[in-house]
Structure 1
Amino acid sequence: MATNYSYVKAPNLSIKTADGTVYAYRELGEKKGIPVIFFTHLSANLDNWDPRVVDGIAKKHWVIAFDNKGVGLSSGKVPDTIEQMARDALTFIHALGFEQIDILSFSMGGMIAQELLAIEPRLVRKLVLSGTGPRGGEGIEHVTKLSDRDLIRAIFTLRDIKTYLFFTRTDHGKQKAKEFLVRLKERKEARDKQISIKGYRRQLKAIHEWGMAKPADLSKITQPTLVVNGDDDRMVPTPNSYDLAQRIPNSKLIIYKDSGHGGIFQYHDEFVKSVIAFFR
């Protein structure tokens, strides 16, 4: 049965896995076919997905977004490695009983998705990697330094850190940042919990180690893959997207002009159309 509400009205659901962890999630769209599982970014909870992206894709697909272990309304301790995050994601997906999924990932979520594919490749039919990079990718080891610097900047300017991390500082980028942040506040009730400072630092550690790790053999990813980014991503530098597209055999690359790490939110209409066409 199709749900008739938007993401901002979707109820918070939960499932307890065999290891005792309770995972929080929201779902949207008609519950049939292969579900699209959303893998999210550093520090993010369920409220950090752009409702325009979720609603748009849910018009054609069954969409599920979830809180990583230890984040938001999910229980447990935040892992400090990307590999463990991938194993936890697998635990959640198996608990829901899925035998095959599509993945839409963003930033750290794209790193988790790559690790998941290395562990259980047959689970995934198609893959979207947005605003992310490969293991050992250019500049990924600097995410902690960049995030700390922009956090201080955000505090002193009384702005959300995503203004700086996700968007360019052009007039167009600044306007799109404002619009995005307004959309994230559309949900008024049953909002998710923020990540703890300790959990946030553990995620940063995981990303840093991912950036310092030995590159993986991405030719083993045989699934159709859509790689997406802005042309000026400061957080996970845009050359990483070109690298992914070169090294993953069956891939397509989309780069949005005058946009940064959050290009998929800045160009949400175009992104949704591309993803729907890709997941057919």
Structure 2
Amino acid sequence: MTATLEAAVTEYVEARGAKLAYRRIGHRFARKLVLLQHFTGTMDAWDPSVVNALAEVSEVFVFDNAGVGSSGGTTPDSVEGMADYAEGFIAALGLGEVDLLGFSLGGFLAQVMAARKRVAIGRMVVAGSAPAGGEEHLLEVVEKAFAQNAPDVRLPLFFTPSAKSQAAGKAFVDRTLARSHDRAPDKGVSVSDPQAKAIIEWCARTDPEHLSLKSIATATLIVHGSDDTMFPSDNAYTMFKNMQDATLILYPDSGHGALFQQPETFVTHVKTFLEL
């Protein structure tokens, strides 16, 4: 391993007029994996146990999209606008064909990128996400989570109330805090407001025939928590039924952060999928 998520140097690249911050983890593999982050999430919100393990089979790139964390520019208020910068990031680094792992909002970006084919995508993992026109309860769930005054808002936001899920959540939070230097800052409403607008607009779209999903030919692994309150699991089934080449996995007693509740299981599933 040339670096871990906790220790990797933050680098910068110019893409579409914005200075985007990123970190590169793992060996220089032929396979490249680009991670697309959740609502308001930065590079430091990823789980090191997931990222570092995936770096055993791919060269992993985490980055802050425009206006987020350590990156410059302004956060777009549309999914397509965010996808523009993600595609620009991949092109600016000259990565060629990449695999994508999109979590939550990042899964929206992955779908757009796979549908419009501006960059070459080998395989795609979509976790805790929803299709255009899908069911979302973003503002309600976030409001309830903050009202609980938990030690970390991600505990009620990403995990179920069960003792097992909450224990896994606490372990996840501890792992995300392992990096002690050069952490990406939280930029507050300058990120949350446009991203919330983008999420709500995406899920408000009318696509009764799921034509956008049916246009996606990229082999896709869909991972979802059984008790995701932000984007209910019906969304995962809709994507599975309408994408051309999709596999669906539901994790039991898991919320929005199912991939972080069962990191070893998730990594095993993703590694197997990527290496098919």
Query: Residue 61 of structure 1 aligns with which residue?
Result: 58
SS of residue paired to 1:255? strand
Query: Residue 189 of structure 1 aligns with which residue?
Result: 181
- Tell me the matched-pair count: 272
Q: Structure 1 vs Structure 2: percent identity of aligned residues?
A: 34
Query: Residue 102 of structure 1 aligns with which residue?
Result: 99
- Residue 158 of structure 1 and its aligned partner are, at CA, apart by 4.3
The reply on whether 1:222 has 2:217 as its aligned counterpart is yes
Seen in structure 2, the aligned counterparts of structure 1 residues 122 and 72 have a Cα distance that, compared at 3 Å, is closer
CA distance in 2: counterparts of 1:213 and 1:158, whole angstroms: 33
SS of residue paired to 1:9? coil
CA contact (8 A) 1:144 1:208 kept: no
CA distance in 1: counterparts of 2:119 and 2:216, whole angstroms: 10
CA distance in 2: counterparts of 1:136 and 1:221, whole angstroms: 16
- Residue 145 of structure 1 and its aligned partner are, at CA, apart by 2.6
CA distance in 2: counterparts of 1:256 and 1:12, whole angstroms: 33
Aligned mate of 1:7, from 5, 8, 16: 5
1:18-60, Cα deviation, whole Å (9 max, x unpaired): x321000011111131200000100000100000000110011
TM-score (norm 2): 0.95
CA distance in 2: counterparts of 1:32 and 1:83, whole angstroms: 29
TM-score (norm 1): 0.94
SS of residue paired to 2:6? helix
Query: Residue 264 of structure 1 aligns with which residue?
Result: 259
Query: Residue 14 of structure 2 aligns with which residue?
Result: 16
Query: Residue 249 of structure 1 aligns with which residue?
Result: 244
Matches within 5 A, 1:18-37: 19-37=16-34
Q: Which amino acid aligns with 2:4?
A: S
Structure 2's unaligned 5+ residue stretches are none
Aligned CA RMSD, in angstroms, stands at: 1.3
CA distance in 1: counterparts of 2:122 and 2:206, whole angstroms: 26
CA contact (8 A) 2:49 2:263 kept: yes
SS of residue paired to 2:70? coil
Aligned mate of 2:43, from 42, 46, 49: 46
Query: Residue 228 of structure 2 aligns with which residue?
Result: 233
- Residue 159 of structure 1 and its aligned partner are, at CA, apart by 2.2
Q: Which amino acid aligns with 2:236?
A: S
CA contact (8 A) 1:70 1:199 kept: yes
CA contact (8 A) 2:87 2:119 kept: no
CA distance in 1: counterparts of 2:21 and 2:76, whole angstroms: 16
- Residue 196 of structure 1 and its aligned partner are, at CA, apart by 2.3
Seen in structure 2, the aligned counterparts of structure 1 residues 98 and 132 have a Cα distance that, compared at 3 Å, is same
Structure 1 range deviating more: 98-107 or 211-220:
211-220
Query: Residue 192 of structure 2 aligns with which residue?
Result: 200
1:228-260, Cα deviation, whole Å (9 max, x unpaired): 011100011111111111111211111111111
Query: Residue 140 of structure 2 aligns with which residue?
Result: 145
- Residue 99 of structure 1 and its aligned partner are, at CA, apart by 2.1
- Residue 84 of structure 1 and its aligned partner are, at CA, apart by 0.5
- Residue 78 of structure 1 and its aligned partner are, at CA, apart by 0.7
CA distance in 2: counterparts of 1:152 and 1:168, whole angstroms: 16
SS of residue paired to 2:228? coil
Runs of 4+ with >4 A deviation: none
Structure 1's unaligned 5+ residue stretches are none
